[in-house]
Structures are given as C-alpha cells and as structure tokens.
Amino acid sequence: MSACVPTRHDHTSRSSRPPRASGIKRPHSPPPPPRDGRFRIAGADLSASITVFLLAVPMSLGLAVAMDAPLEAGLISAAIGGIVAGLLGGTPLQVSGPSAGLTVVTAELIQIYGWRTTCAITIGAGLLQILLGSLRAARSALAVSPAIVHGTLAGIGVAIALAQLHIVLGGTPQSSAVANALALPDQLGRVSPAAPLIGVLTIAVLILWPRIPGWIGRVVRRIPAALAAVVTATVVAAITAPEIARVDLPSWRSHALPEMPHGPVLALATAVLTVMLVASLESLLASVAVDKLSADRAGGQAAARSKADSTSASSSGPASSSDPASSSGPVSVSGPVSPSALAQGRPGPACPSLPDPPVRRSDLDRELRAQGIANTLSGLVGGLAVSGGAVRSSANVRAGATGRASTVLHGVWVLLAAGLLVAALEQIPLAALAALVMMVGIQMVSFAHIRNVHKHREFLVYGATITGVLLFGVLKGVVIGIAVAVAVAMHRLARTRITVTEQGGQHLVVVRGQLTFLAVPRLSRALARLPQDGDAVVELDGFFMDHAAYETIQDWSIAQTAHGGRVVFTGRSGGRIAEPASAAHSCCRPWTPWRNHHCHDRPGQTPETHHARLDTGRTPDCGSGSVEDRSPEQHTSHDTSGAHSTPGPAGSPTAAPRRTGGNRLFSGLSSFQRNTAPLVREELARLAREGQRPSQLFITCADSRLVTSMITASGPGDLFTVRNIGNLVPPPDAESSDHSVGAAIEYAVDVLKVESITVCGHSGCGAMQALLGAKPDPDAPLTSLWRWLRHGLPSLERMESRHHAWARISGRLPADAVEQLCLTNVVQQLDHLRAHGSVARRLAEGTLQLHGMYFHVGEAQAYLLAEGASAGLTLDEVFNRVDPGDAHASSDSHTPADAHALAGSHTPSDSRSPGNADTPRPTAAGDPAGSGELERTGV
C-alpha cells in the first residue's frame, strides 16, 4: 500500500513571510527560481532555438533595412538580445532582438544625427532602463492606458508599412509617414516589375504557409513562414531577376562604433527618453503576452493529458493499481493508502504521473534591467536598439521551449550565422525583406485591440494616439494620447446627471454619475429648489464622492432636518445607505465586512463614540446589508488613514491591543447595540411576532473559526443550527446519555418542517486530529470528550476500509489524512442522519433533502458534496467547489421546490462500480451542472 502525495508548502503563512527589508521581491515581481549553477539544455529548447533563429535572421535584416541602418547591426542586436537578455531577463521564454516598435524612431535618428550618434543614444536609453528597473518601476509603466499603448504601436505599424511599401515597389522611403503617403502616387507611376513581384510572392507565402492543409501542412509548418517566404523569394529572384537589389553586408572591419553625441542637449535627451519609453513598453507588453501564452500552453497540455488518461482508463476497463494511466489527477494512487502514511507524506514506490510545475510569472523589473544591459552593450558594439518581440517570443513558446536555453542558443546561432553565412545572406532580395517587415507593421494594427478599446469606449484615445504618432512622431503622439485620455476621464467624471421629480408629496432626487466638485453647482441648485420642510429621497448612483460634494449634501441635509423635513439616502436599488464617512468616521460596517469585526478593539475607541449620519431622519446606520447598497468607503475619498485597516498579526505596527474577558464581551455588545441593532431591530421584531420558520437544519462544528452566518450569507431566522465537537450525528441507537443532537433533529424535521439538512465539516478540525492521534488509555476512565468522540470512530473506520471510495475535493485527493477524515466524516454523518426515523420518513415522502458541505478555512472556500452521494445513491464521494456564479446559474435552472438545495446535480463521469471500490481515482475538476441555493441566505 503506497501513495504519491505531494507535500504542501504553505508560503503564505506569517512565519515564512519575509520582512520587507530582506530584499525579497514583492508579489508583483516574484523571485526567480533557485539556481543550481548549471545551464540546462533540453531537447525541446534546442529545437525551439533553431526555429526562432530561422525566424530572427530575416526579421533582423529586414528591420535594419527599414531603419536604413547597417545590416550587420540587425544581426548584432539579435545576438546580444538573445544571449544577454536571455541570460539575465525575468521572462525566460521571451526572445529579444531588434525592435519593430523603434523602426520609425531609429530611422529618424539616423537621418538627423547619423549612425554613430544613434548608437550613443541607444546606450543612454539602456542605462536609463537599468536605473528604472533598479527602482522597480516596471509595473508603473503598465499603468499607461492600453488604448495609448496599442495606439502607439498601431501608429508605428502604419508608418512601417508605408515606408516598406516604397521598397517593395522598387523605390526609396521618405523621412516620415506623411511624406511616404504623399509620395506614394508618384512611386506607383514609376514602378518596376521585378521588386513588386518578389514582394507579392513573399507576402503570398507568408499568408498561405500556415494554411496548407493535411499532413503536408503539419510537416511544413515546422518551418517558420518568414523563413519559407524569404527562401522562396530568394530562389525565384536568383532565377528570374538576377539584377534585383539584394542585401549588402559590408566587411566587419568597416563596422562603425558609437561616438560622443553631437547636437542640442534637449533634443538628445528627448531622443534617449523616446527610445527608452518605446523599447520598455514593447518589452513589458511582450512579457505579459508571453506569460499568457505560457499559461495557455500549460493549460492545454494538462487538458490533453487528462483527456488521454481518461480515454486510456475507459478503454482498458477497471483501473488496476499498477496501471499508470489509471490516475488522471494531480495525485497518483496505487491501492488503498493508510492514514498514517498519508499523514506523514511518505511517497509510494511509483509516481507515474506528476503535475507540471506551475507557470512562473515574469519578473518585470528584472526583465527591464536585462533589456537595459542588452541595449547598453548593443550600442557599445554598434547594434540596433533591443526590445522583447511578440512575434519571436510567441514562436518560441509555440515551438515548445521550456526555459531560457532556447533564447540564448538562438542568439548563439545568429552570431555564428553573421560570421559564417555572409555569402548566403547576401543573396536575399531587399524587396523580400521589405515585404516581410511590411507585414509585421500591418500586424501591429490589431483588430482585436480595436474591438477592445471600442468596447471600453476608449477609441477616441486610440485614434488620437495613432494620428499623433503618424503626424508628429512617437513621443509627441504619446503625449497627445495621454492628453486626450485625461480629457475623456475628466469629461466622464464631470458627466453627472441630476433629476428632481415629485411623487405623492415626496421629492425624489436622482444623481447619476460621480459626485465631484465639478458637479457641486448643479447639485446645489437642484437641492435648493426643494421645499425646506418636505420629505426627500436622494438616490445616489455612483461609487465616488469627493469632499466638496459631501459637504454640500451634509449641510443641506442638516438644514432640511432642522426645518422639519425628512431625508433618506438610497442606492440605485432603493436600499438605504450610510452617508459618506466624515474625517473621524471609523465605525464597523456590521454583518457583511467580517474582516473589520474587531474594529471596536482599537485604542481610543469607546462604545459611546458618536458618529454623524447623513440619514438624519432615521436611527444611526453604519453600513449596508445588501450588495447593491454602497458602503461609506465606496462613496467617499477622504477617510482618515487606517480607519478601516485590517488588524495585522500580533506584534505588527498595525495590530491593536486585544481585549480579553469581560472587557471584550462588553465592547462587542456595545458595538452591536450601537451599530448592528438599528439595522436588525425591525427584522427581529417581525420574527418575534411570527415565530421562527427556518428552511434549513445546519449541523456543523463548534470551531470558533466557522461562522455559519458569514459563509452562508444568512441572517436571523434563516438557519436552525446545531454545533458540536466534530459536527457529529450520533446514530439513534447509540448508547449515550447526550440526546441533544437527536432531539434537535426531531424538532427541526417534525415541528419546524425544515426542507433540508446540511452537515458541514471544515479544514483543520481538532476532533478529527484527535481521532487520528493517540487513543485514550484503556485503563483510565473515559473523559467526556472521548465519550463524545466515540461517535466519530465509524468515520475513521470508513476511511480505512477497502470497501469505500476515498472522498475527493474539487477533482483531487485530499492533501493529508486530516483533510481526508474531515471529508469522510461528513459522508458518514449523513448515513447516521438517514438512520433517524423522522429523517427516513421525510426522505421517503420526498419532502426532505440531505446535503454535505466542507469549508476550507484557510482558503475561505466552500465545497458541496455531489447530490448523488448526499442522497446515498452513489458510492462516489466528490466535493465540488462552489464558485461565485453558481447561485445565479442555479436560480435560473431550478424550480422553486429545489431552491433550498445546497448541492449541485453533478455526477462525476468516472463513478466507480462496487466491484472496484478499493481503487479510487481522482477526477478532473469541474463545476456542478447546477447547484441550488439556500432560501434567504444567498448560498
């Protein structure tokens, strides 16, 4: 009996969390994997490096042609980008090289300052990147509006396409996009046939190569389309047009190196800033895209492996303990596993299927520093500016690369080609390279980005940025885009609609939009027209209110109340809301925000603290009980610092002294009377008149961390709750002097007529740990605790039995023996419930449902036992994850009679037969096909 159980490492615990001064990066820039001093080269990395190399060589030459730079500079930057940025970068799968986004900028710099000064500008941009990366400013660069970033790249792409079109037509590009557009008619009038035909042939191969059907297509698609297009054009040009212009690689002896820059200081600084900005944005956006591609590839491989394993298992019949394909989940199990072995985490003799390591997010600050080092070195040796390329990087990921070895090897191959393949490279027609780069420019205008910015109403910013880049250059175009984005944001912020209507002698003031100082004049005029002694309802439909608007509403509300009027503030749904908090506002928002439920423990706060209210006609209201009602923090921006901060760990600067004993109880009761009682008084008065009519019997553990009203979003009168050590249900024939659980079950089923019973276990249950731990001394008298825990022994026997399936949680086996027993205990107590006469009778009538539930405290995640297992109809014990959208989905697909169900109707596809009960198999994670909801609780 053995098992392969992965060890769980909890890196989020307070004990293992490093201090800020330790030098470890924050979560947005995760630390790199530990180094072992060896550079590993996998077979997949070797093949992927060749693929990227075959793509990078023609692109590097083409970009050098487009920039009117020395052709060998493109190869130098490709080699340095691959080797240096590949070794030092924070995105291992990203491939760096000549920057397509800097094509227009570099071409303009070469025309103005010459090649050697342009190299010096590249060095300056690289040093600035190193500085910004050291200051951890990489994430700040991504704060720029996506509409501006994509608009900039699209404008550069259009400029590239216009310039390269002249070369494809056999001419020479002009100095700007506007000049290229104006010169295009004249160029079309004097076109020569050879270059355009070669360009058209290159474009045709680029488009058609990935679309070749059948097995031939699968074979040839291993060759990059860019390489296939350039090779085809080179061969055709050698046969049909031997006089066409071709690549001219000068001798390395005449290669120009940088010089001290000459020119106006302000203009040179602007050039350095522009190169740094465009190269950094292009690299960081490519890093984010590579992360997504890597995650998608990992997800696709996992899905394919899971599908293949399930197919193998279904085709081979019942899974045997020695069949590696019988395990499709993250844990491979071979036969039954003893709880002791599982608790100790001892691996079994064979682990046939282990999960892939998780995809590591990019360290953007490290990537920015690496790009800066690569640009500095590239400028020093006379190369083009370097940035991460989306085209090369996506090819690297799709080619199966697993680490940075692919990127580094691609740079080595480029370096070797620059020295050994000069004769072959000089046979490439310039028209073919121009067509290749023109297609790259066209692809930079992404229709997917256009749809996204249009959907988010940012097309004006996108269009203004493109226009600015084409007319005035990259840096000025970015400035124009930022200015338009700010203007649009200000317009939306000031676009507040205020309407006043009268309904039955009561005035309704509806405010649509954000309340800022810009809307204060119109708001004041609208409120001043209301009768001073009349009743008014102010409906606020916005999530922001600044101090000026708050003061205006507060002053008017006080004056209105002083004249005998009554003011009620509501949200769009009609629910009452609290006012924007004043500077001294620091009370709890009871019920919903449980993370603040200890705020009355803060020093300096007393139960007698008084808080002002906007809702002057009602009792003080400190919060809202509905999702639609806006909380005070959502309506204001001027709360005092730390007023609603979460208490930190003990000993931290933010942790408040903890009150104990009677002081703690008094503070809590006083806080309830001050904050919560006004909210629930009417509801409790109704329940006192009508009596309790709960729809659920909820049996759960007495653990203090398990707050039933919080995890079920329930209120007074919703749940009839029974809590005990270990959420145990003693069988009706058990020899025990404690019949309280049975009495509660009979009362709930026969008197209250509840419609469902839920048994809820939880993670880290102390009762289950005690059952797994040391047994009591048989010679010593049993304590009350052990007499009670004897009712849990059937759960322990069920877990160790070979005739019952192991419970699974969201498609995986439990992490350890304690979690396994917690899950098994829920299923066992449901069996005990069915043995009670009143429960069995209602189940036979079809008027009662049983549900199993598991709550993971550390993850704040609920899991529901599949409906068949809850009803005792199947042997498969699967707890499915409850997702935020499950309740909404279930409310549309279930009848009112099913509205009380907590569990979904999902039945796993790999339900086992009784004959194979001793070989549990983990299933792929999946959501229930439909889950019910708990009446009046929102579950």
CA–CA gap between residue 720 and residue 11 (Å, rounded)? 38
**Which DSSP state fits 477?**
H
Q: Is 602 a catalytic residue?
A: no
CA–CA gap between residue 325 and residue 308 (Å, rounded)? 8
Residues with Cβ < 8 Å from 705, sequence gap 6 or more?
762, 857
Question: Long-range contacts of range 705-713, CB-CB < 8 Å, 24 or more positions apart?
Answer: 705/762, 705/857, 706/760, 706/762, 706/855, 706/857, 707/594, 708/760, 710/594, 711/855, 711/862, 712/934, 712/937, 712/938, 712/939, 713/937, 713/938, 713/939
Catalytic residue among 119, 599, 622, 765: 765
Q: How big is the chain, counted in residues?
A: 939
Catalytic residue among 587, 588, 599, 701: 701
Q: Is 703 a catalytic residue?
A: yes
Catalytic residue among 222, 454, 686, 705: 705
DSSP symbols for 879-915:
EEEPPTTHHHHHHHHS-GGGTT--SB----TTPPPGG
Residue 84: strand, helix, or coil: helix
CA–CA gap between residue 430 and residue 628 (Å, rounded)? 63
The runs of H, that is alpha helices, within 383-541 are 390-398, 405-420, 422-425, 430-443, 447-455, 459-472, 474-494, 520-528
**Which DSSP state fits 15?**
G
**Which DSSP state fits 702?**
-
Identify the burial level of 687 via C-beta atoms within 10 angstroms of its C-beta, where 0-12 means exposed, 13-18 middle and 19 or more buried.
middle
Backbone φ, ψ for residue 447 (5° rounding): -70, -25
Catalytic residue among 635, 762, 808, 900: 762
CA–CA gap between residue 478 and residue 673 (Å, rounded)? 56
Q: How crowded is residue 226: how many other Cβ atoms within 10 Å of its Cβ?
A: 27
CA–CA gap between residue 219 and residue 223 (Å, rounded)? 8
Q: Is 587 a catalytic residue?
A: no
The type of residue at 916 is N
Q: Where are the beta strands (DSSP E) in 478-636?
A: 497-503, 506-512, 535-541, 566-570
Catalytic residue among 291, 363, 703, 876: 703
Contact 757, 839 (CB under 8 A): yes
CA–CA gap between residue 846 and residue 840 (Å, rounded)? 10
**Which DSSP state fits 19?**
P
Q: Which residues carry out catalysis?
A: 701, 703, 705, 762, 765
